[in-house]
Structure 1
Amino acid sequence: MNDFDGQTWVAFSDLCGLKAMYEKNTEQAAQALDKFYNTVYDLQHDGNPVNSIVVSDCAVFWEDRTNCTDDLSILLEKVKSLHQLMLPDYLIRTTIAYGHFKYQGRLEMPRIRKNMIVGGAYLDAYANNDKIELGSIVIVKLPESTNFQNLSLRRECKVMIKTNCPAKGFYEYFWSLGNKSQMSGFLDRRKEIQNAIFQKLKDLYSEYEAN
Protein backbone atom coordinates (compact mmCIF):
# COMPACT_ATOMS: atom_id res chain seq x y z
CA MET A 1 0.00 0.00 0.00
CA ASN A 2 1.50 3.32 -1.10
CA ASP A 3 1.98 6.37 1.10
CA PHE A 4 -0.61 9.10 0.54
CA ASP A 5 -0.73 12.84 1.19
CA GLY A 6 -3.56 14.91 -0.30
CA GLN A 7 -7.24 15.83 -0.37
CA THR A 8 -9.57 12.86 -0.45
CA TRP A 9 -12.56 11.06 1.05
CA VAL A 10 -11.91 9.21 4.32
CA ALA A 11 -14.21 6.78 6.16
CA PHE A 12 -13.91 5.75 9.80
CA SER A 13 -15.74 2.49 10.61
CA ASP A 14 -16.24 1.29 14.17
CA LEU A 15 -17.17 -2.25 15.27
CA CYS A 16 -20.07 -1.49 17.62
CA GLY A 17 -20.40 -3.02 21.07
CA LEU A 18 -16.99 -4.68 21.31
CA LYS A 19 -16.30 -3.46 24.86
CA ALA A 20 -19.61 -4.86 26.14
CA MET A 21 -18.91 -8.06 24.24
CA TYR A 22 -15.48 -8.36 25.84
CA GLU A 23 -16.85 -7.83 29.36
CA LYS A 24 -19.46 -10.53 28.80
CA ASN A 25 -17.48 -13.10 26.81
CA THR A 26 -13.85 -12.62 25.76
CA GLU A 27 -14.03 -15.47 23.25
CA GLN A 28 -17.01 -13.88 21.54
CA ALA A 29 -15.15 -10.56 21.36
CA ALA A 30 -12.13 -12.29 19.83
CA GLN A 31 -14.36 -13.92 17.21
CA ALA A 32 -15.89 -10.54 16.37
CA LEU A 33 -12.46 -8.97 15.91
CA ASP A 34 -11.31 -11.91 13.80
CA LYS A 35 -14.28 -11.55 11.46
CA PHE A 36 -13.78 -7.77 11.33
CA TYR A 37 -10.08 -8.04 10.45
CA ASN A 38 -10.67 -10.72 7.82
CA THR A 39 -13.54 -8.81 6.23
CA VAL A 40 -11.53 -5.59 5.96
CA TYR A 41 -8.59 -7.56 4.54
CA ASP A 42 -10.80 -9.18 1.88
CA LEU A 43 -12.28 -5.81 0.91
CA GLN A 44 -8.77 -4.36 0.64
CA HIS A 45 -8.00 -6.91 -2.09
CA ASP A 46 -11.15 -6.69 -4.23
CA GLY A 47 -9.59 -4.50 -6.95
CA ASN A 48 -11.40 -1.34 -5.85
CA PRO A 49 -9.14 1.79 -5.62
CA VAL A 50 -9.81 2.27 -1.91
CA ASN A 51 -7.16 1.58 0.70
CA SER A 52 -7.78 0.55 4.30
CA ILE A 53 -6.06 -0.08 7.59
CA VAL A 54 -7.37 -1.58 10.84
CA VAL A 55 -6.68 0.18 14.14
CA SER A 56 -7.91 -1.89 17.09
CA ASP A 57 -11.70 -2.31 16.58
CA CYS A 58 -11.89 0.37 13.88
CA ALA A 59 -11.02 0.56 10.19
CA VAL A 60 -9.98 3.59 8.15
CA PHE A 61 -10.72 3.65 4.40
CA TRP A 62 -9.54 6.26 1.91
CA GLU A 63 -9.78 6.90 -1.81
CA ASP A 64 -6.19 6.67 -3.04
CA ARG A 65 -6.42 9.37 -5.71
CA THR A 66 -6.10 13.05 -4.77
CA ASN A 67 -8.79 15.67 -5.39
CA CYS A 68 -11.42 13.10 -6.38
CA THR A 69 -14.45 14.95 -5.04
CA ASP A 70 -16.70 12.99 -7.42
CA ASP A 71 -15.56 9.53 -6.31
CA LEU A 72 -17.55 9.27 -3.10
CA SER A 73 -19.63 6.51 -4.71
CA ILE A 74 -16.61 4.18 -4.67
CA LEU A 75 -16.05 4.69 -0.95
CA LEU A 76 -19.76 4.33 -0.17
CA GLU A 77 -19.87 0.98 -1.95
CA LYS A 78 -16.80 -0.17 -0.04
CA VAL A 79 -18.15 0.61 3.43
CA LYS A 80 -21.60 -0.67 2.45
CA SER A 81 -19.96 -4.02 1.70
CA LEU A 82 -18.33 -3.99 5.15
CA HIS A 83 -21.68 -3.33 6.85
CA GLN A 84 -23.38 -6.08 4.81
CA LEU A 85 -20.68 -8.69 5.38
CA MET A 86 -20.65 -8.15 9.16
CA LEU A 87 -24.40 -8.74 9.45
CA PRO A 88 -26.33 -10.44 10.98
CA ASP A 89 -23.95 -10.89 13.91
CA TYR A 90 -22.36 -7.44 14.20
CA LEU A 91 -23.11 -3.77 13.54
CA ILE A 92 -20.70 -1.25 12.04
CA ARG A 93 -20.98 2.54 12.39
CA THR A 94 -19.27 4.63 9.69
CA THR A 95 -18.58 8.35 9.33
CA ILE A 96 -17.16 9.87 6.12
CA ALA A 97 -15.39 13.20 5.62
CA TYR A 98 -13.55 15.00 2.82
CA GLY A 99 -10.31 16.87 3.44
CA HIS A 100 -6.59 16.51 3.91
CA PHE A 101 -5.34 13.03 4.71
CA LYS A 102 -1.86 11.61 5.12
CA TYR A 103 -0.87 7.98 5.42
CA GLN A 104 2.73 6.90 5.93
CA GLY A 105 3.17 3.17 5.72
CA ARG A 106 5.99 2.83 8.21
CA LEU A 107 7.23 5.44 10.65
CA GLU A 108 10.37 4.27 12.46
CA MET A 109 11.67 5.59 15.77
CA PRO A 110 13.92 3.97 18.36
CA ARG A 111 12.24 0.66 19.35
CA ILE A 112 9.00 1.74 17.65
CA ARG A 113 7.66 0.92 14.19
CA LYS A 114 4.13 1.97 13.28
CA ASN A 115 1.87 3.35 10.57
CA MET A 116 1.01 7.05 10.70
CA ILE A 117 -2.47 8.39 9.95
CA VAL A 118 -3.11 12.14 10.21
CA GLY A 119 -5.19 14.87 8.58
CA GLY A 120 -8.37 16.86 8.99
CA ALA A 121 -10.55 14.37 7.11
CA TYR A 122 -9.51 11.52 9.41
CA LEU A 123 -10.08 13.65 12.53
CA ASP A 124 -13.51 14.84 11.33
CA ALA A 125 -14.62 11.28 10.61
CA TYR A 126 -13.23 9.98 13.90
CA ALA A 127 -14.59 12.79 16.10
CA ASN A 128 -18.15 12.47 14.78
CA ASN A 129 -18.43 8.69 14.84
CA ASP A 130 -20.08 8.40 18.25
CA LYS A 131 -22.60 11.13 17.33
CA ILE A 132 -24.47 9.02 14.78
CA GLU A 133 -26.83 6.04 15.00
CA LEU A 134 -25.47 2.52 15.46
CA GLY A 135 -25.31 0.71 12.13
CA SER A 136 -25.49 3.86 10.02
CA ILE A 137 -23.25 5.40 7.35
CA VAL A 138 -23.17 9.21 7.57
CA ILE A 139 -21.26 11.81 5.55
CA VAL A 140 -20.15 14.41 8.10
CA LYS A 141 -18.10 16.80 5.97
CA LEU A 142 -18.23 17.76 2.28
CA PRO A 143 -15.49 19.45 0.22
CA GLU A 144 -15.17 23.19 0.83
CA SER A 145 -17.57 25.35 -1.23
CA THR A 146 -19.52 22.26 -2.30
CA ASN A 147 -23.10 21.35 -1.50
CA PHE A 148 -24.53 17.87 -1.67
CA GLN A 149 -26.53 18.46 -4.84
CA ASN A 150 -23.35 19.36 -6.73
CA LEU A 151 -21.55 16.11 -5.91
CA SER A 152 -21.10 13.77 -8.87
CA LEU A 153 -22.49 10.59 -7.35
CA ARG A 154 -23.79 7.49 -9.03
CA ARG A 155 -27.56 7.79 -9.17
CA GLU A 156 -28.14 4.58 -7.20
CA CYS A 157 -26.10 6.08 -4.34
CA LYS A 158 -27.46 9.62 -4.47
CA VAL A 159 -31.13 8.63 -4.24
CA MET A 160 -30.38 6.66 -1.06
CA ILE A 161 -28.91 9.66 0.80
CA LYS A 162 -30.99 11.95 3.01
CA THR A 163 -30.10 14.97 5.11
CA ASN A 164 -29.31 13.98 8.70
CA CYS A 165 -28.96 16.73 11.33
CA PRO A 166 -29.28 19.60 8.79
CA ALA A 167 -27.72 22.11 11.18
CA LYS A 168 -24.48 20.11 11.14
CA GLY A 169 -24.59 19.35 7.44
CA PHE A 170 -24.70 15.58 7.92
CA TYR A 171 -26.05 13.25 5.22
CA GLU A 172 -27.07 9.65 5.92
CA TYR A 173 -26.60 6.91 3.32
CA PHE A 174 -29.35 4.32 3.75
CA TRP A 175 -27.20 1.40 2.69
CA SER A 176 -29.54 -1.38 3.88
CA LEU A 177 -32.63 -0.31 1.94
CA GLY A 178 -33.65 -1.67 -1.43
CA ASN A 179 -35.22 1.59 -2.65
CA LYS A 180 -35.97 5.16 -1.59
CA SER A 181 -39.62 4.41 -0.80
CA GLN A 182 -38.51 2.37 2.24
CA MET A 183 -36.84 5.34 3.96
CA SER A 184 -39.88 6.65 5.80
CA GLY A 185 -40.82 3.25 7.21
CA PHE A 186 -37.23 2.53 8.23
CA LEU A 187 -36.89 5.86 10.05
CA ASP A 188 -40.21 5.31 11.84
CA ARG A 189 -39.12 1.84 13.00
CA ARG A 190 -35.75 3.12 14.18
CA LYS A 191 -37.43 5.91 16.14
CA GLU A 192 -39.81 3.41 17.75
CA ILE A 193 -36.88 1.28 18.90
CA GLN A 194 -35.11 4.34 20.34
CA ASN A 195 -38.26 5.43 22.16
CA ALA A 196 -38.78 1.93 23.56
CA ILE A 197 -35.25 1.87 24.98
CA PHE A 198 -35.78 5.35 26.46
CA GLN A 199 -39.06 4.27 28.06
CA LYS A 200 -37.47 1.14 29.58
CA LEU A 201 -34.71 3.24 31.12
CA LYS A 202 -37.26 5.64 32.60
CA ASP A 203 -39.20 2.71 34.03
CA LEU A 204 -36.03 1.28 35.56
CA TYR A 205 -35.06 4.53 37.29
CA SER A 206 -38.64 5.09 38.46
CA GLU A 207 -38.81 1.57 39.92
CA TYR A 208 -35.66 1.96 41.99
CA GLU A 209 -36.36 5.58 42.95
CA ALA A 210 -39.73 4.53 44.37
CA ASN A 211 -38.01 2.00 46.64
Structure 2
Amino acid sequence: MADTALSVLLFDDDRGDTALTVRHRNRDTVAALGAEIEAVMGDADASGNRPPLQRHSTRAWPLRALAGLRDRVLRGSPWWRRALCYVVLGLPLVVWLPPDPFLGLLAWLLLPAGIALLRMWVGMADLDTRWVMWRRGVTVRATYEEDPFMEATNSCVAHFRTLDGQEITAHPALRGCRDEIRYDPQDPSRVLAPTRAAWLGIALAAFCVSGFWGVVLSLPAILWLLDLLTRPF
Protein backbone atom coordinates (compact mmCIF):
# COMPACT_ATOMS: atom_id res chain seq x y z
CA MET A 1 0.00 0.00 0.00
CA ALA A 2 1.43 3.38 -1.04
CA ASP A 3 0.62 6.70 0.62
CA THR A 4 -2.31 7.50 -1.66
CA ALA A 5 -3.00 4.14 -3.35
CA LEU A 6 -4.28 0.76 -2.17
CA SER A 7 -3.87 -2.43 -4.22
CA VAL A 8 -6.32 -5.29 -3.61
CA LEU A 9 -6.15 -8.75 -5.21
CA LEU A 10 -9.61 -10.25 -5.80
CA PHE A 11 -9.96 -14.05 -6.03
CA ASP A 12 -12.65 -15.61 -8.19
CA ASP A 13 -12.81 -19.34 -9.02
CA ASP A 14 -14.52 -18.72 -12.37
CA ARG A 15 -12.74 -15.65 -13.70
CA GLY A 16 -9.37 -15.88 -12.02
CA ASP A 17 -7.53 -13.27 -9.99
CA THR A 18 -8.14 -9.56 -10.60
CA ALA A 19 -5.99 -6.70 -9.31
CA LEU A 20 -7.86 -3.61 -8.13
CA THR A 21 -6.17 -0.33 -7.28
CA VAL A 22 -7.94 2.34 -5.24
CA ARG A 23 -6.52 5.86 -5.17
CA HIS A 24 -7.44 8.80 -2.94
CA ARG A 25 -5.77 12.11 -2.31
CA ASN A 26 -5.99 11.64 1.49
CA ARG A 27 -3.56 9.00 2.75
CA ASP A 28 -5.49 8.62 6.02
CA THR A 29 -8.57 7.56 4.06
CA VAL A 30 -6.51 4.99 2.14
CA ALA A 31 -5.08 3.60 5.39
CA ALA A 32 -8.55 3.36 6.95
CA LEU A 33 -9.92 1.59 3.87
CA GLY A 34 -7.05 -0.92 3.96
CA ALA A 35 -7.72 -1.63 7.63
CA GLU A 36 -11.44 -2.19 6.93
CA ILE A 37 -10.67 -4.62 4.08
CA GLU A 38 -8.27 -6.56 6.29
CA ALA A 39 -10.88 -6.75 9.04
CA VAL A 40 -13.53 -8.02 6.62
CA MET A 41 -11.15 -10.64 5.25
CA GLY A 42 -10.35 -11.74 8.80
CA ASP A 43 -14.04 -12.06 9.65
CA ALA A 44 -14.57 -14.26 6.57
CA ASP A 45 -11.71 -16.61 7.49
CA ALA A 46 -12.97 -20.20 7.71
CA SER A 47 -10.65 -21.01 10.64
CA GLY A 48 -12.36 -18.44 12.80
CA ASN A 49 -9.10 -16.75 13.78
CA ARG A 50 -9.36 -12.98 13.84
CA PRO A 51 -6.35 -10.98 12.69
CA PRO A 52 -4.38 -9.12 15.31
CA LEU A 53 -5.52 -5.62 16.14
CA GLN A 54 -3.75 -3.01 14.06
CA ARG A 55 -3.37 0.58 15.16
CA HIS A 56 -3.00 3.48 12.74
CA SER A 57 -1.95 6.92 13.87
CA THR A 58 -3.86 9.91 12.61
CA ARG A 59 -3.61 13.65 13.01
CA ALA A 60 -5.62 15.72 15.44
CA TRP A 61 -8.64 17.55 14.05
CA PRO A 62 -7.06 20.95 13.23
CA LEU A 63 -4.05 19.32 11.58
CA ARG A 64 -6.29 16.84 9.72
CA ALA A 65 -8.45 19.69 8.44
CA LEU A 66 -5.37 21.61 7.27
CA ALA A 67 -4.03 18.47 5.57
CA GLY A 68 -7.37 17.95 3.81
CA LEU A 69 -7.35 21.58 2.65
CA ARG A 70 -3.78 21.16 1.39
CA ASP A 71 -4.74 18.04 -0.58
CA ARG A 72 -7.75 19.82 -2.11
CA VAL A 73 -5.62 22.80 -3.14
CA LEU A 74 -2.78 20.69 -4.60
CA ARG A 75 -4.76 17.83 -6.19
CA GLY A 76 -8.37 18.97 -6.31
CA SER A 77 -10.32 21.28 -8.56
CA PRO A 78 -8.47 24.36 -9.89
CA TRP A 79 -11.18 26.49 -8.27
CA TRP A 80 -9.64 25.68 -4.88
CA ARG A 81 -6.33 27.24 -6.00
CA ARG A 82 -8.13 30.26 -7.42
CA ALA A 83 -10.07 30.74 -4.18
CA LEU A 84 -6.86 30.50 -2.15
CA CYS A 85 -5.16 33.11 -4.35
CA TYR A 86 -8.21 35.36 -4.04
CA VAL A 87 -8.18 35.12 -0.24
CA VAL A 88 -4.40 35.41 0.26
CA LEU A 89 -3.69 38.09 -2.36
CA GLY A 90 -7.00 39.91 -2.67
CA LEU A 91 -7.57 40.93 0.95
CA PRO A 92 -4.18 42.66 1.47
CA LEU A 93 -4.56 44.50 -1.85
CA VAL A 94 -7.99 45.96 -1.10
CA VAL A 95 -6.87 47.02 2.39
CA TRP A 96 -3.47 48.51 1.57
CA LEU A 97 -4.15 50.20 -1.78
CA PRO A 98 -5.14 53.93 -1.77
CA PRO A 99 -8.96 53.68 -2.25
CA ASP A 100 -11.31 53.54 0.73
CA PRO A 101 -10.50 50.37 2.74
CA PHE A 102 -14.19 49.90 3.67
CA LEU A 103 -15.23 50.00 0.01
CA GLY A 104 -12.39 47.64 -0.88
CA LEU A 105 -13.36 45.17 1.85
CA LEU A 106 -17.01 45.33 0.77
CA ALA A 107 -16.02 44.74 -2.86
CA TRP A 108 -13.78 41.84 -1.84
CA LEU A 109 -16.61 40.17 0.08
CA LEU A 110 -19.35 40.67 -2.55
CA LEU A 111 -17.42 40.07 -5.79
CA PRO A 112 -17.43 36.21 -5.61
CA ALA A 113 -21.21 36.17 -5.09
CA GLY A 114 -21.67 38.62 -7.98
CA ILE A 115 -19.56 36.52 -10.34
CA ALA A 116 -21.40 33.34 -9.27
CA LEU A 117 -24.80 34.94 -9.98
CA LEU A 118 -23.64 36.22 -13.36
CA ARG A 119 -22.35 32.74 -14.20
CA MET A 120 -25.72 31.34 -13.16
CA TRP A 121 -27.42 33.81 -15.51
CA VAL A 122 -25.18 32.68 -18.37
CA GLY A 123 -26.13 29.07 -17.69
CA MET A 124 -29.85 29.83 -17.36
CA ALA A 125 -29.90 31.87 -20.57
CA ASP A 126 -27.71 29.31 -22.39
CA LEU A 127 -25.33 32.03 -23.51
CA ASP A 128 -22.35 29.66 -23.40
CA THR A 129 -24.07 27.32 -25.86
CA ARG A 130 -24.80 30.21 -28.21
CA TRP A 131 -21.17 31.32 -28.03
CA VAL A 132 -19.98 27.81 -28.97
CA MET A 133 -22.51 27.59 -31.80
CA TRP A 134 -21.57 31.00 -33.15
CA ARG A 135 -17.85 30.15 -33.01
CA ARG A 136 -17.81 26.63 -34.50
CA GLY A 137 -21.41 25.58 -35.14
CA VAL A 138 -22.64 24.16 -38.45
CA THR A 139 -26.09 25.00 -39.86
CA VAL A 140 -28.00 22.17 -41.55
CA ARG A 141 -31.58 21.41 -42.56
CA ALA A 142 -33.65 19.49 -40.00
CA THR A 143 -37.08 17.91 -39.74
CA TYR A 144 -39.19 18.34 -36.61
CA GLU A 145 -41.74 16.04 -35.02
CA GLU A 146 -43.58 15.73 -31.72
CA ASP A 147 -41.85 13.65 -29.05
CA PRO A 148 -44.08 10.63 -28.44
CA PHE A 149 -42.32 9.73 -25.18
CA MET A 150 -41.94 13.29 -23.83
CA GLU A 151 -38.34 12.63 -22.78
CA ALA A 152 -37.51 16.34 -22.50
CA THR A 153 -39.27 19.46 -21.32
CA ASN A 154 -39.64 20.51 -24.94
CA SER A 155 -41.97 18.19 -26.88
CA CYS A 156 -40.15 18.83 -30.16
CA VAL A 157 -37.63 16.38 -31.65
CA ALA A 158 -35.23 17.35 -34.44
CA HIS A 159 -33.78 14.90 -36.98
CA PHE A 160 -30.84 15.98 -39.11
CA ARG A 161 -27.76 14.66 -40.90
CA THR A 162 -24.28 15.94 -40.10
CA LEU A 163 -21.73 16.82 -42.77
CA ASP A 164 -20.05 13.42 -42.38
CA GLY A 165 -23.37 11.58 -42.87
CA GLN A 166 -24.40 10.75 -39.29
CA GLU A 167 -28.10 10.59 -38.52
CA ILE A 168 -28.73 12.58 -35.32
CA THR A 169 -31.87 12.86 -33.20
CA ALA A 170 -31.81 15.69 -30.67
CA HIS A 171 -34.08 17.70 -28.39
CA PRO A 172 -33.45 21.42 -29.01
CA ALA A 173 -34.31 23.80 -26.21
CA LEU A 174 -36.60 25.82 -28.50
CA ARG A 175 -38.48 25.12 -31.74
CA GLY A 176 -36.93 27.09 -34.59
CA CYS A 177 -39.05 29.22 -36.86
CA ARG A 178 -37.25 27.73 -39.89
CA ASP A 179 -36.34 24.16 -40.79
CA GLU A 180 -32.72 24.75 -39.84
CA ILE A 181 -30.65 23.74 -36.86
CA ARG A 182 -27.15 24.49 -35.69
CA TYR A 183 -25.02 21.74 -34.15
CA ASP A 184 -21.62 21.47 -32.52
CA PRO A 185 -19.23 19.38 -34.71
CA GLN A 186 -17.43 18.13 -31.60
CA ASP A 187 -20.73 17.00 -30.02
CA PRO A 188 -23.53 16.67 -32.63
CA SER A 189 -26.13 16.01 -29.93
CA ARG A 190 -25.61 19.60 -28.75
CA VAL A 191 -27.92 21.60 -30.99
CA LEU A 192 -29.50 25.01 -31.13
CA ALA A 193 -32.52 26.09 -33.16
CA PRO A 194 -32.12 29.54 -34.74
CA THR A 195 -34.76 31.34 -32.71
CA ARG A 196 -34.41 34.93 -31.57
CA ALA A 197 -37.47 36.43 -29.89
CA ALA A 198 -38.23 33.48 -27.60
CA TRP A 199 -34.58 33.13 -26.60
CA LEU A 200 -34.32 36.85 -25.80
CA GLY A 201 -37.35 36.52 -23.52
CA ILE A 202 -35.72 33.65 -21.66
CA ALA A 203 -32.45 35.56 -21.37
CA LEU A 204 -34.28 38.63 -20.00
CA ALA A 205 -36.23 36.58 -17.45
CA ALA A 206 -33.03 34.84 -16.32
CA PHE A 207 -31.29 38.23 -16.01
CA CYS A 208 -34.06 39.50 -13.73
CA VAL A 209 -33.68 36.42 -11.53
CA SER A 210 -29.90 36.21 -11.17
CA GLY A 211 -28.03 38.46 -13.58
CA PHE A 212 -29.35 41.73 -12.11
CA TRP A 213 -28.25 40.79 -8.60
CA GLY A 214 -24.91 39.69 -9.96
CA VAL A 215 -24.40 43.17 -11.41
CA VAL A 216 -25.51 44.80 -8.13
CA LEU A 217 -23.08 42.72 -6.07
CA SER A 218 -20.28 43.47 -8.53
CA LEU A 219 -20.81 47.25 -8.42
CA PRO A 220 -18.60 47.85 -5.31
CA ALA A 221 -15.69 46.14 -7.08
CA ILE A 222 -16.26 48.26 -10.20
CA LEU A 223 -16.41 51.49 -8.15
CA TRP A 224 -13.30 50.50 -6.20
CA LEU A 225 -11.41 49.77 -9.43
CA LEU A 226 -12.50 53.07 -11.00
CA ASP A 227 -11.38 54.93 -7.88
CA LEU A 228 -8.02 53.19 -8.05
CA LEU A 229 -7.51 53.99 -11.75
CA THR A 230 -8.52 57.66 -11.44
CA ARG A 231 -6.27 58.42 -8.47
CA PRO A 232 -3.04 60.28 -9.31
CA PHE A 233 0.13 58.36 -8.64
Give the TM-score of the pair, scaled to structure 2: 0.20
Tell me which structure has the larger Cα radius of gyration. Answer: 2
Query: What TM-score results when the alignment is normalised by the length of structure 1?
Result: 0.21
- Greater share of helix: 2
